[in-house]
Amino acid sequence: MRIDKFLWCVRFYKTRSIAADEIKKNRVSVGTQVVKSSREVHPGDVVKVRKNQIDYQIKILDIPKSRVGPKLVPLFIEDKTDKEQYEILQQRKLTQDYYRIKGEGRPTKKDRRAMDDYIEGEPTEADDSGDWDLFFREVED
**101 found inside a domain:** no
**29 found inside a domain:** yes
**38 found inside a domain:** yes
pTM of the model: 0.64
Judge whether residue 126 has pLDDT over 60.
Answer: no
* Per-residue confidence (pLDDT) for residue 103, from 0 to 100: 66
**102 found inside a domain:** no
Residue 137 neighbours by CB under 8 Å, 6+ apart: none
Q: What is the DSSP letter of 124?
A: P
* Per-residue confidence (pLDDT) for residue 102, from 0 to 100: 62
Q: Which domain holds residue 8?
A: 3-95
Are 76 and 134 contained in the same domain? no
Are 69 and 19 contained in the same domain? yes
